[in-house]
Amino acid sequence: MRARPQVCEALLFALALQTGVCYGIKWLALSKTPAALELNQTQHCKQLEGLVSAQVQLCRSNLELMHTIVHAAREVMKACRRAFADMRWNCSSIELAPNYLLDLERGTRESAFVYALSAAAISHAIARACTSGDLPGCSCGPVPGEPPGPGNRWGGCADNLSYGLLMGAKFSDAPMKVKKTGSQANKLMRLHNSEVGRQALRASLEMKCKCHGVSGSCSIRTCWKGLQELRDVAADLKTRYLSATKVVHRPMGTRKHLVPKDLDIRPVKDSELVYLQSSPDFCMKNEKVGSHGTQDRQCNKTSNGSDSCDLMCCGRGYNPYTDRVVERCHCKYHWCCYVTCRRCERTVERYVCK
């Protein structure tokens, strides 16, 4: 006997609540936007993959931002893969956007990192685009109110962090503010982690200076406020990932809040990444839980870190192989002014997990 449509719909809804399906980072599929798509007309917005209706509307009203947002999506992919290259979970599943596996669909520690990095990256890209003059709606950031210090003067073009944060949050948070998309607990978790990403971006704003003076004496320096590179923000967020707090959705007063599972006497800190569901160890391939496993992953025999053969291979052992490396050698400086080098080849031993 066939199940009635109402029963099927109820089961699908229950499954959505259990897995926490959300459209929050599906916009990272913009990384696959064809170069031939110029994004100079509003009708192009509906051709973009992974956007909810609110993001399509933002695209139409802020069309000039879309090239920057596409760039941000590509930078998230690179920064995440780079940050986790030495871990069992190496962020490879992010390439599946918008059709993620459960490692990113559920409220895991890994999804916490990706939400935070995505929020930071889009604001970072917009702030930098303002500085480089790529966006007509913004320019350099404001001159800081505090004195720059002895021998320094404010000048140059600061990264426009305030505009980046404003427009970045509007776009990246839009899916979490749509009604009936996953559980309230997952929405709160993802909004919290997105804000942690923006906080990490704020913390990366630093004073940068350029020297002026006779014969490079640096008698005076022109300074401005600039953001660190996204890879540095990703490294900060990875540290927070490693110390992330597991939370539960619990009543506090008249509303439910996220509170630490083991320390529910205190509220969640604004600076910490949080997650709702524990992750597998990612040792064995299991697509049901979003694990690609570590078989054939390269490991470091002499390391004591997460890339060590003991940890990466989960105790299964590893196989050695030899690799030929070609590199520059015997370089010689010629006056004036160039360098010539020879090409040398050497054999190195590498290891992959069984």
- pLDDT tens-digit series, residues 181-193: 568 899 999 999 9
**pLDDT of 20 over the 90 cut:** no
- Token duo for residue 25: 């980072």
Domain coordinates in residue numbering, the chain:
5-285, 294-354
Q: Where are the beta strands (DSSP E) in the chain?
A: 152-154, 205-212, 220-227, 245-252, 255-260, 274-275, 285-286, 291-292, 298-299, 318-334, 338-353
Number of H helices, E strands in the chain: 9, 11
What is the C-alpha to C-alpha distance for residues 179 and 308, in angstroms, rounded to an integer? Answer: 44
What is the C-alpha to C-alpha distance for residues 208 and 216, in angstroms, rounded to an integer? Answer: 17
DSSP-assigned beta bridge partners for residue 343: 328
Specify the DSSP class assigned to residue 291. Answer: E
Q: Is 46 helix (H, G, I), strand (E, B) or coil?
A: helix
> Once rounded to an integer, what is the mean pLDDT over residues 318-338?
92
State residue 328's pLDDT score.
Answer: 94
Please identify which residue in the block is written with the tokens 């399906």. Answer: 21
State residue 5's pLDDT score.
Answer: 43
State residue 25's pLDDT score.
Answer: 96
Pairing of strands 152-154, 220-227: parallel
Q: What is the pLDDT of residues 94-147, one digit of tens each?
A: 999 999 999 999 999 999 999 999 999 999 999 999 999 999 989 999 998 888
User: Highest-confidence range of 124-128, 247-251, 265-269, 320-324, by mean pLDDT?
Assistant: 124-128
- Token duo for residue 279: 């992750």
DSSP-assigned beta bridge partners for residue 249: 258
**Residue 132 one-letter amino acid:** S
CA atoms within 13 A on the CB side of 175: 21
- CA dist 11 → 4, 6, 16, 118 (Å): 11, 9, 9, 31
Quick one: the chain helix, strand, coil %, rounded to 5? 40, 20, 35
- In CATH, what number does 294-354 get? 3.30.2460.20
Q: 181 CB contacts (<8 Å, ≥6 apart)?
A: 21, 22, 23, 52, 175, 187
- CA dist 161 → 55, 164, 165, 259 (Å): 21, 5, 6, 30
Contact 69, 122 (CB under 8 A): yes
State residue 180's pLDDT score.
Answer: 64
Contact 142, 176 (CB under 8 A): no
**What is this structure's pTM?**
0.88
